[in-house]
Amino acid sequence: MLWMTDSSKSRLAACLLLALMLGACSKKEEATPAAATPAPAQGTPAAAQDAPAAPAVAANVQAMSADQLREAATAALRENRMYAPAGDNAMEFYLALRDKLPDDPSVNSALTDLMPYTVIATEQAVGREQFAEAQRLVALIEKADPTAPALPRIKQSIGTSQQAVAQRSEAEAARARTEAETRTQAEQQRQVEQQAAEAEAARRLAEQQEAARLEAEREEAERQEAARRAAQAPAEQQAPRPAAPPPPQRTLRAVSMPQPRYPAEALRAGVAGEVLVEFTVERDGSVSDVRVLRSSPPRTFDREALTAVRRWRFEPGDTAITTRRTLAFTPSE
């Protein structure tokens, strides 16, 4: 055993035992839960990160007697617990034993033999970004030998790696924010486009309904006119009256003839056409009884033609007169 009184035999036994454990060291470390302590989460308050580090040797280990520490160290070496888990490994047991027996050469020899494995484990923890575990192992190394050549390099590596992890986390957070903003903007744009499409669909439906209403009114007016003429025909056949002399022709002079509005949908489509309307010019020059006789394309320009003709005004005359006009719709180039 490493703590035998014969220092040469103790050192030889320690070397042989540690050589046997070398192959299993890395595997044992990875399987130890305490060695897999995760790095501090991004955004940890500075006060928490800068809190005083825990003692290199656990309090329960410091409280053990020298004999208990020798037995615990031997068992830890036999089970490949050279530097982990925290509070139950050979490094801590020997460090506590050295505090109690500072002049024991076997203890110092054992710590010297354990040092390379602890250094390797520390570098592996840094490589896995397990900074809490790396700091714990650094504390063991520093307590065992404050002048160890590897200490400055390992401490610098921990600082550099922590900074790299923080920068990577910040970059990932910035990328996530950018992606979230992009998704939000895309969703807002989609909603705006959807609302515009719905508004356009509602407008077209309203125009179609209005056109259908005007067509129904026109058909009803034609039906009533046909019924009136049919009712008058028998009476005229039974008692034909002498034809009255035709009224004197009235000359129509326009006072105001505003042009019809070009339907927006037809204008966008570049559709041209014309509407033949019949209307009566009253004696005061106003227009009444406006109706569509023919339109091309059907119903495309009817509404605007009727609206425009109803607004026409002529010079007053002695009699009302019914006339027809053709309104042409040609999209401007």
Give the span between the Cα atoms of 229 and 309, in whole angstroms.
Answer: 25
Give the span between the Cα atoms of 310 and 319, in whole angstroms.
Answer: 18
* Model pTM score: 0.44
At residue 110, the pLDDT reads 95
Say which residue, 295 or 43, is predicted with more confidence: 295
Name 277's bridge partners: 292, 325
Return the HEC string of the chain. Answer: CCCCCCHHHHHHHHHHHHHHHHHHHHHHHHHCHHHHCCCCCCCCCHHHHCCCCCCCCCHHHHCCCHHHHHHHHHHHHHCCCCCCCCCCCHHHHHHHHHHHCCCCHHHHHHHHHHHHHHHHHHHHHHHCCCHHHHHHHHHHHHHHCCCCCHHHHHHHHHHHHHHHHHHHHHHHHHHHHHHHHHHHHHHHHHHHHHHHHHHHHHHHHHHHHHHHHHHHHHHHHHHHHHHHHHHHHHHHHHCCCCCCCCCCCCCCCEEECCCCCCCHHHHHHCCCEEEEEEEEECCCCCEEEEEEEEEECCCCCHHHHHHHHHCCEECCCCCCEEEEEEEEECCCC
At residue 233, the pLDDT reads 75
- The residue-averaged pLDDT of 232-258 equals 72
Highest-confidence range of 11-15, 153-157, 214-218, by mean pLDDT?
153-157
pLDDT in tens, 129-165: 999 999 999 999 999 999 999 999 999 999 999 999 9
Q: Which of 230-234, 235-239, 271-275 has the weakest average pLDDT? A: 235-239
- The residue-averaged pLDDT of 316-326 equals 94
At residue 250, the pLDDT reads 80
The pair of three-digit structure tokens given for residue 128, joined into one six-digit string? 């896995």
Confidence of residue 279 (pLDDT cuts 50, 70, 90): very high
At residue 319, the pLDDT reads 93
User: What's the CA angle centered on 254, arms 251 and 260, to 5 degrees?
Assistant: 135
Q: Which of 1-10, 89-98, 201-210 has the weakest average pLDDT? A: 1-10
Residue-range domains of the chain with CATH:
7-39+52-148 (no CATH), 253-333 (3.30.2420.10)
Residue 23 pLDDT exceeds 70: no
Confidence of residue 181 (pLDDT cuts 50, 70, 90): very high
Average pLDDT of the chain, as a whole number: 84
At residue 244, the pLDDT reads 59
Residue 31 pLDDT exceeds 70: no
Residue 234 pLDDT exceeds 80: no
Angle of helix 105-127 versus helix 7-31 axis, rounded to 10: 20
At residue 138, the pLDDT reads 97
Residue 242 pLDDT exceeds 70: no
Measured from the Cβ of residue 23, the count of other Cβ atoms closer than 10 Å reads 10
Name 325's bridge partners: 277
Residue 67 φ/ψ, nearest 5 degrees: -65, -40
